[in-house]
Structure 1
Amino acid sequence: MTNRVLNTLMERAEEIRALGPVNERLGRLEEPAVKALRDSGAIRMLQPRTYGGMEAHPREFAETVMGISALDGSTGWVAGIVGVHPWEMALASPEVQREVWGDDPDTWIASPYAPMGVARPVDGGYVFNGRWQFSSGTDHCDWIFLGALLGDTDGKPVQPPAGLHMVLPRRDYEIVEGSWDVAGLKGTGSKDIIVRDAFVPEHRALPFAKVISGEAARESGLDDPVYHVPFSCMFPLGITAAVIGMAEGALAHHLAYQRDRIQITGTKVRDDPYSLYALSEAAEEIATSRIRFLDNACRMYDTVAAGGEVTFAGRAAGRRAQVRAAWRAVQAMNEIVLRSGGNAMRNDNPIQRFWRDAHVGLAHAIHVPGSVYHASALTDLDIEPPQGPMRSMI
């Protein structure tokens, strides 16, 4: 299939690549990088057609994020994170969709989804309070998804916990300046968010249980299969694609840098069988990460497109594939970056930036393997996995 969005962005590849150090110094995306994403339609790839979106195949979206991330990690990360939000907004009430996109279909939506706030029920909606970290690309967004725990009338989380995704306009939350001071992905501007006693009407609250079970997609009436792919596949899609793309970017710069490099021993890298062995192995591992990750998304899509439903075991295996793809790509990248020589660590060498960005991306909660591997192993053994956290995000 022809990926018109990616092709459009590749026409601006040199510009996006050159903006990498600028984004990092600013601590957010420079406006030309934002404009490149807006002009290409990258953030509207998973948006419904009724609001100017493309309803793109998950593979096409992931390939686009990989391509951007191989040019600049921060730009790709924002494209991956912000670009997934229209997918969930398509599952929300028609009323909130009109509020967000009615005047401008290019309106961007931030997050985070971590349930760090409490929503206290009141007449017509909720009173909402909380503080969240890691709102990537938030400076460029006018609305936000925020994770919440449903509270009781006293504002204490109910038991057992019940999660909500709350949708708020920019006027109802505060972006905390200076809260993003990190080793990598500096240009993503993933700042803290504070909400104080905001009223959120009922139609702007989406029960997380309905999202992850697929019930929200079924109730939405949307026919396109992309909206019936499990949340546990779609939510990590842009994040893991960005990390793999960063590894691909590091590999491309490593190849260019090593081509004529002479090591301190006087040996050309091209004549060093050990370096060449490591290079070939890493290149294949990164390529395998891409293939396995994309294949997993395609399998999910094909299942729902054929009218089927992805089982818990299938979702667990899919999360395992996604997590392992990210770790495999970063571990392979380490093998070549650590053989790039000391000059690769200079700030004017893009290799070190890709290296830092990919490691910070790998630290995202969606890449923590423990509970995912635990659940997928038990399902492979035909044993019911435990309830609670071991099922989280599966």
Structure 2
Amino acid sequence: MTNPVLDAIMERAEEISALGPSNESLGRLDDQAAKALRDAGVIRQLQPRAHGGLEVHPREFAETVMGIASLDGSTGWVAGIVGVHPWEMAYADPKVQEEIWGQDPDTWIASPYAPMGIARPVDGGYIFNGRWQFSSGTDHCDWIFLGGMLGDEDGKMAQPPKSLHLILPRSDYEIVPDSWEVAGLKGTGSKDIIVKDAFVPSYRTLWYDKVVDGSAPREAGLTNPSYLMPFSCVFPLGITAAVIGIAEGALAHHLAYQRNRVQITGTRIKDDPYVLYAISEAAEEIKASRTALLDNCSRMYDRTAAGEEISFADRAAGRRTQVRAAWRAAHAMNEIVVRSGGNAMRLDNPIQRFWRDAHVGLAHAIHVPGSVYHVSALTDLDIEPPQGPMRSMI
């Protein structure tokens, strides 16, 4: 399968790699790094063709994210996070699609989806308030998806709780400066967002339960299997692909660094069987992570294209595969990084940046294994998992 977007990125591989320290220093993507993503069409991969998008197979999108992340973790992370938002926007109201992409199909959309705001119903829409963390790539975006809870007439959370995604233009929210001081993925600029009394018309909203159960794209009349795939498969795809790509980048830098390295004992790495064993084992574990994630995505796509229903148990198993892929890649990366020697931890050595980036990426909520493993094990036992938070990310 050809991948013109990834080919275009790889033509600028040295440039993207070299921008890693600048991204980290700025605390957001360097404008030149963002331009490289725009020029290659990275963020338009899952965007509808009707609005200048490419509508690629989600596997192709994941492969692109991995390739970018292997060059620079922050650039790959932004590609994975911001790159998935056009996929959901594809089944939003055509009116908001036109507002966002009508003048410029390269308009980027930020997030987060965590329901940290309250949407109080009013005539024609909602009055929205809240504060969110972790809005990756937000400095380069002009619109945003934000998660919220339905409120009552007093602005308190309605009962029973009901969640929705709200879509706002840049004029309706504030990006909080200096709110992203972290150990890794510094260049993602994943800053806080504040919304104060913004009016969000109803057509700029999506009900979360319809997004998760797959009824939203079907009600929108979409037929491309990519848009009918489970949210719990596609949404984590770019995030996990970034972590795996970062591990691949760490491996590449480790190999380059170890090739001529002589240990303090005087032993050349090429003559140390223990390090060579670790390199081979890590390489296979990282490759296995890549294969598992891409195979899971492809199987979900093929089943969706065949008109099969993806059950809750299937979604849980898919999430288990995705979570484990991220952890496997990070564990494998650790085994080689700790064998890279003390000089690998110097700030002018990229190995330490990839190592930090991978661990911060692993800390994303989508990679927390507890509830996913719990629920998937229950479904394997043919036991219905309890309702509530444990099901919320499946």
> TM-score range, shorter-chain basis?
over 0.9
Q: Deviations over 1:23-80 (max 9, x none)?
A: 0001111111111100100000000000011111010000000000000000000000
Match of 1:149 in 2: 149
Give the 3-state SS of the residue equivalent to 2:121 in structure 1: strand
1:224 aligns with 2:224: yes
1:122 aligned partner, one-letter code? V
Deviation per residue, 1:231-261 (Å, 9 max, x gap): 0001101100000000000000001111111
Output the CA distance in 2 between the equivalents of 1:91 and 1:359.
33
Aligned to 1:70: 70
Show the counterpart of 1:392: 392
- How many residues in Structure 1 have an aligned counterpart in Structure 2? 394
Instruction: Tell me how far 1:223 sits from its aligned partner.
Output: 1.3
Correspondence 1:44 to 2:61:
no
> Does the alignment pair 1:134 with 2:134?
yes
- 2:319 match: secondary structure: helix
- The equivalent residue for 1:304 is 304
Question: Equivalents in 1 of 2:97, 2:237: separation in Å?
Answer: 22
Per the TM alignment, residue 160 of structure 1 is displaced from its structure 2 partner at its CA by 2.1
2:122 alignment counterpart = 122
Structure 2 unaligned segments of length 5 or more: list them.
none
Percent of aligned pairs with the same amino acid = 78
Question: What residue identity is the alignment partner of 2:23?
Answer: N
Q: Secondary structure at the match of 2:71?
A: coil
In the alignment, structure 1 residue 240 sits paired with structure 2 residue 234 = no
Q: Which deviations, in whole Å up to 9, do the C-alpha atoms of 1:180-227 show, x marking residues without a partner?
A: 100000000000000000000010111000000000010111111000
The letter of the residue matching 2:348 is D
SS in 2 for 1:280: helix
Give me the whole-angstrom Cα distance separating, in 2, the residues matched to 1:106 and 1:67: 21
Tell me the residue number matched to 1:112.
112
Q: Following the alignment from structure 1 to structure 2, what is the Cα–Cα distance between the partners of residues 282 and 159?
A: 49
In the alignment, what sits opposite 1:85? 85
Once the 2 structures are TM-superposed, how far is the Cα of residue 91 of structure 1 from its aligned partner?
A: 1.1
CA distance in 1, matches of 2:68, 2:82: 14
The aligned residue for residue 359 of structure 1 is 359
SS of residue in 2 equivalent to 1:70: helix
Q: Hey, what's the Cα distance between the residues in 2 that align with 1:234 and 1:255?
A: 32
Paired residue for 1:98? 98
Query: What residue number does 1:158 align with?
Result: 158
Which of structure 1's runs of 4+ aligned residues deviate more than 6 A? none
Query: Residue 344 of structure 1 aligns with which residue?
Result: 344
CA distance in 2, matches of 1:378, 1:131: 35
- Structure 1, unaligned runs of 5 or more: none
User: 1:256-267 to 2 correspondence within 5 Å?
Assistant: 256-267=256-267
- 2 CA distance for matches of 1:10 and 1:273? 33
Partner amino acid, structure 2, of 1:109: I
Q: TM-score, normalised by structure 2?
A: 0.99
In 2, Cα distance between equivalents of 1:137 and 1:279: 33
**Residue of structure 1 equivalent to 2:373:** 373
Q: What residue number does 2:286 align with?
A: 286
Whole-angstrom CA distance in 2 between matches of 1:116 and 1:335? 37
For the aligned residue pairs, the C-alpha RMSD in angstroms reads 0.5
Instruction: Give 3-state SS (helix, strand or coil) of 1:62's partner.
Output: helix
CA distance in 2, matches of 1:369, 1:161: 25
* Separation (CA, whole Å) in 2 of partners of 1:393 and 1:234: 12
SS of residue in 2 equivalent to 1:116 = strand
Q: CA deviation at 1:308?
A: 1.0
TM-score when normalising by structure 1:
0.99
Letter in 2 for 1:111: S
Q: Secondary structure at the match of 1:165?
A: strand
Deviation at 1:97, TM superposition (A): 0.6
Instruction: Write the distance in 2 (CA, Å) between the matches of 1:297 and 1:160.
Output: 33
Does residue 1:201 correspond to 2:201, yes or no?
A: yes
Partner of 1:25: 25
**Counterpart check, 1:323 vs 2:334:** no
